[in-house]
Structure 1
Amino acid sequence: MPSSTARRIAASPAAQPSLPDELLEDIFLRLDDGEDLVRAYASCFTFRRVVSGRRFLRRYHSLHPPPVLGFLAVASDGPFHPAEPPHRSAPAAAAVARAADVALAFLSDPGRWSVRDARDGRVLISREAAAVSGDAFEELIVYDPLHRRHIQICPIPGDLDSSASSANGIIFYEIRTLVFNSVTRKWRAVTSFAIIGTTATFRWLSCQGRRHYSCSCFCWTGYGRKEMLVLDTREMKFSVADLPRESYNQMHSVVDAEEGRLGLLILVGSRKLLIYSKTWPDNGDGLKDWQCDNVIPLFDRNWFFSSGGAEGYAVLKAVALYQNQIVGKKSDTQYFIVEIKTLMIKRLCSMKPGTDAPHYLYASFPPPLSLPSLRN
């Protein structure tokens, strides 16, 4: 007679004891690599049912940051540039490029729209003022490329727009914070900030490449400026924060640092990257609170920040030091991401030279690990 061990080995898969869904969820949550989870999803019906459940996906999203799949250029002419091999997100980026509407195909005139921001799987686009009327943002749309959903936001009323006035030859600019209520579908003014300056000052604040988001704050910085304007979205209050002296006349980017601190990456002469941080909200110490956490040497290239930090990363653009001007051939521009948590610099993709518009990182969980970020 066959032994009990032999009988157990010969038993059919249907006779094997099944694990409860809660235990399977705990096992799958320990998978750091999303590709492993996708393979588990495709292996059998039970795993597919557990992984695709909303409860599990919410738990997984709360523990694991979404992978960076590429970036979106401001110009809507082929805006999505996916991660390329050997980047670990390249397979997922290719899948998203096939499945998602990253070319704004739902618009009748996509060439007139520009990308304004991207985060949490959603993208904000606007139609340029020259294409419609004199308002800065006549039309705004938030859309989820992966799930092909979008919401059109009504125009900002003229009486709520920012304004300028003068007294005794001094120009005052009023910067207003507006909040859009998705239920009432109306804009309302929340707070404002008056600044004295020239037209160049106002253009500096409205420049997309100078806006950053960190620690629930929007920050506006500028080359050669010694301070930044900060809007704390938790209290809806404006303030002005000093920058460390090492950032003066250097390119920099505001990011999320460890332990909820405000971080600042500083490019020093294309030779090294300085990582500074400070507590936030500011404790009143100003410059004294900034501390240098690390220094990263860079290999020989001309380095630039391509956009503000987002999703725990910053984007660097690298151009060859010496281009072949004799034959008129220029090398492709290489794009790298700096992972703030590990301070590792990894190549993301390359583009043809001459693309100087700001770019926004696009991070999202690929199918089947994503959930719609917009309601119908």
Structure 2
Amino acid sequence: MYLQSMPVDIQEHILLQLDSPICLVCASTTCKLWRRIIAGTVFLKRFRSLHKPPVVGYYHQSDQSPASVRSFKPSPQVTTAIASRYDSLDHFLPLAWLFTGTVKDSRGSLLLVEIATMKEDTLRQHLYVVEPLTQQSKAIAVYKATTPAIPCEIQAFLLDGAKPGEIGMSNFRVVCLSKNGTVAGIITQDGPIREVKTGNDHGKYMGYLGSAAGSMYWYTKPRTVFAFDKTTAEFSSSSLPDTDDFVQPTISTKFAVTAGRDGQARIVFLAGDTLKIFARPKPRSGDDWVLEKSVQQPSAVTLGVPRPQRFTFGRSVPLC
């Protein structure tokens, strides 16, 4: 009787606190309502986002000097033998990895590694997809800097392969953005780069905000948001409200992207001591963002919205 009188959203919140898929299956046998809640697509997406799989460990490195501080920290539950596989990239990657290599992204059991080399006074950036556990690597692209000795600001990210939810050395995609953000490239394990227009015709730098609700998000001044749909591999653009909030020089450090309880993306922005949450009333291409909620925070406890990293720092590698 008590459960029947409890609002459904409260019951959903309780079920989301379960820390095991096994417990979730057991809970689904309790009653028809809980079975219907747990079987819902939105609920399952939220559950997966809250309860990440175990991780092998974390790669840590500095953008300024990757080789000198690059390290791998295994999780306590990982055996020494498995951890050593992830800490031994030096043994099967090109020698240049020791001096210029950086881990740009990770997904599943794979890493996306960037290695820079100099040839005829021109900096070249090479991308490798790496599987540390099997010590396999595959070169997938080479980029050339427009100015000698100055690195390109190529952004690159790992995605699942053609089959959603599956990724491996024979099934992956890589998304790369050009320095000026006007063109993106989609690379698969066995195909050439397929160019995709981002819609950023002005060539303004696109700051990566994060990933949520099946899409990746970038921001350009003064208030444009670009979204990349991971399923369709297409970009769309939308706008934030026309206010004075988005004119600060360090605007990109105050954004974060997350998913709401309805499974749709939200943009969280820190304006002074106030967190502003923006939503799209109709989550379709071209719909602009509106202010959904403002949350006032005492300045003494305001820590700021975590800055999304363009380069990997503390990226987790799930157990495979």
TM-score range, shorter chain: 0.5 to 0.7
User: What's the offset of the Cα at 1:261?
Assistant: 0.9
Q: Which deviates the most, 234-243 or 102-111?
A: 102-111
Whether contact under 8 Å (1:74, 1:115) holds in the other structure is no
Distance 1:92 1:298 in 2: 39
| 2:70 corresponds to | 79
Residue 177 in structure 1 maps to residue 175 in structure 2:
no
Cα-Cα RMSD: 4.3
3-state SS in 1 of match to 2:90: coil
Whether contact under 8 Å (1:261, 1:280) holds in the other structure is no
| 1:218 corresponds to | 216
Seen in structure 2, the aligned counterparts of structure 1 residues 136 and 277 have a Cα distance that, compared at 3 Å, is farther
| 2:235 corresponds to | 238
User: What's the offset of the Cα at 1:29?
Assistant: 4.7
TM-score between the two structures when normalised by the length of structure 2: 0.55
User: What's the offset of the Cα at 1:196?
Assistant: 3.9
Deviation by residue 1:14-59 (Cα, 9 ceiling, x = unmatched): xxxxxxxxxxxxxx85369xxxxxxxxxxxxxxxxxxxxxxxxxxx
3-state SS in 1 of match to 2:235: strand
3-state SS in 2 of match to 1:155: strand
3-state SS in 1 of match to 2:86: coil
Distance 2:115 2:229 in 1: 27
| 2:315 corresponds to | 362
User: What's the offset of the Cα at 1:227?
Assistant: 1.1
Aligned length: 232
1:101 to 67, 76, 86: 86
Distance 2:281 2:72 in 1: 35
3-state SS in 1 of match to 2:141: coil
For structure 2, the 5+ residue unaligned runs are: 1-19, 25-47, 145-179
Distance 1:193 1:299 in 2: 40
TM-score between the two structures when normalised by the length of structure 1: 0.48
Q: Which 4+ stretches in 1 moved above 6 angstroms? A: 93-97
User: What's the offset of the Cα at 1:262?
Assistant: 1.0
Whether contact under 8 Å (2:199, 2:237) holds in the other structure is no
Seen in structure 2, the aligned counterparts of structure 1 residues 255 and 148 have a Cα distance that, compared at 3 Å, is farther
Distance 1:239 1:29 in 2: 34
1:153 to 139, 142, 148: 139
Whether contact under 8 Å (1:117, 1:125) holds in the other structure is yes
Give the structure with higher Rg (CA): 1
| 1:252 corresponds to | 255
3-state SS in 2 of match to 1:30: helix
Deviation by residue 1:107-164 (Cα, 9 ceiling, x = unmatched): 3332211222223343211112657874763x2112234x253322232589xxxxxx
Q: Which amino acid aligns with 2:256?
A: S
Q: Which amino acid aligns with 1:79?
A: R
Seen in structure 2, the aligned counterparts of structure 1 residues 296 and 258 have a Cα distance that, compared at 3 Å, is farther
3-state SS in 2 of match to 1:105: helix
Distance 2:244 2:77 in 1: 38
| 2:100 corresponds to | 112
User: What's the offset of the Cα at 1:93?
Assistant: 7.8
| 1:314 corresponds to | none
Seen in structure 2, the aligned counterparts of structure 1 residues 63 and 275 have a Cα distance that, compared at 3 Å, is closer
User: What's the offset of the Cα at 1:102?
Assistant: 3.9
User: What's the offset of the Cα at 1:235?
Assistant: 2.3
Distance 2:266 2:81 in 1: 30
User: What's the offset of the Cα at 1:73?
Assistant: 3.3
Q: Which amino acid aligns with 1:217?
A: S
Q: Which amino acid aligns with 2:292?
A: Q
| 2:267 corresponds to | 264
Distance 1:96 1:79 in 2: 20
Q: Which amino acid aligns with 1:105?
A: D
